Amino acid sequence: MILNGVEIRDSFAEAFPMVGTRLIITADTAKWAMIAAKTMTGFATSVIGCGCEAGVEREVPAEETPDGRPGVAVLIFAMDIKGLKSVVPNRIGQCVLTSPTSACYAGIEGGEPISIGKALKYFGDGWQIAKKVGDKRIWRVPVMEGEFVCDHETGSVSGVGGGNILILGASRREALEAAEAAVEAMSKVPGNILPFPGGVVRSGSKVGSKYKGMFASTNNFYCPTLRSQTETKLPPEVASVQEIVIDGVSFDAVSACTRAGIEAVVKLGRDKGIIAIDAGNYGGDLGPFHFKLREIMA
């Protein structure tokens, strides 16, 4: 398959089950809502070293938030419900409770409940107040600035982690420019996050390593500098590869995000130094979700 001179390789991205939740963080201004959201989702690029994967899903206008203030939706994913229940209240407590004017609300209904105020109320040292709003419980926790308001809990969903595309470029600049275009398009697809810095990961990995205790290591098959020393999957004209990893709330969400990214890269075309689009997989042994590039773009 060739689209605008770019080869869509006959490959698939291999993804695995994760458990996720959505939170709506609000503040008096959009600036402070985003600061809280970005702080809360920091150091959350990969479960391998961070315990979770998290990122900003979208900005939420004031008319759509529970308290009528500017907001940001974030998604957080972990490998199992136990891990999710651990990281969510810790991150909210350290990064949202502490952030000026912030509040935190449930963004997903149903599924296994994940604690928000149920855990954080104790910071109020007995001065916290529970309120009923409709059929939901919220907490008002006194702080020096005023009070921190949050839902008692949020829901959870069975999600998908590790969807990806690999952008094979003729130069580092061209591969990165294509990745930036893809991230811009993919960020508009709801239900997904791109957890790595700026949505892009230059250090794509393979499972395992020659060193004991390393769960993942550099994907030498796609390293241009190793082309003469190891088996390679790169044609001679490729000088740089950038990867975009996708976590989503469903298979369909990740599929739509993948398509949006590929379309953005293909629009640039061969004339902009884009040689091919590929995907990272491990022969189907890592996870049950397979995102076949050519089927997605058919």
pLDDT tens digits, 160-179: 999 999 999 999 999 999 99
End position of a domain, from candidates 157, 192, 225: 157
> Tokens at residue 179, please?
């990745």
Instruction: Indicate if 71 and 29 belong to the same structural domain.
Output: yes
- β-pair type (274-278, 6-8): parallel
**pLDDT for the residue 244:** 98
CA distance 262 to 81: 32
Split at pLDDT 50, 70, 90, the class of 135 is: confident
Mean pLDDT throughout 84-94?
97
Residues 172 and 94 in one domain: no
Spatial separation of the C-alpha atoms in residues 4 and 172, rounded to whole Å: 20
Q: What is the pLDDT of residue 119?
A: 92
Mean pLDDT along residues 30-35: 98
pLDDT band with cut points at 50, 70 and 90 for residue 75: very high
| pLDDT value of position 34 | 98
Domain boundary among 138, 157, 176: 157
Summarize the confidence of residues 25-47 as an average pLDDT: 97
How would residue 199 be classed by pLDDT, with cut points 50, 70 and 90?
Answer: very high
Round the average pLDDT of the chain to a whole number and report it.
96
187, 92: one domain: no
CATH of the domain at 125: 3.30.70.520
Domain span holding position 115: 17-157
- Calculate mean pLDDT across residues 93-122: 97
Which phi and psi angles does 40 have, rounded to 5°? -65, -30
The reply to whether 136 and 179 lie within a common domain is no
Question: For the whole model, what pTM was predicted?
Answer: 0.94
Q: Point out the domain boundary residue: 157, 176, 194.
A: 157
Question: What tens digit of pLDDT does each residue of 236-289 get?
Answer: 999 999 999 999 999 999 999 999 999 999 999 999 999 999 999 988 888 999
**Residue 215 pLDDT greater than 90, yes or no:** no
Whether 169 and 144 map to the same domain: the answer is no
Calculate mean pLDDT across residues 206-229. Answer: 92
pLDDT value of position 213 = 87
What's the confidence (pLDDT) of residue 286? 83
Find residue 164's DSSP bridge partners: 245
Average pLDDT over residues 26-39: 98
pLDDT range class, residue 93, cuts 50, 70, 90: very high
For the chain, how many structural domains are there in total? 2
Tokens of 279: 């995907």
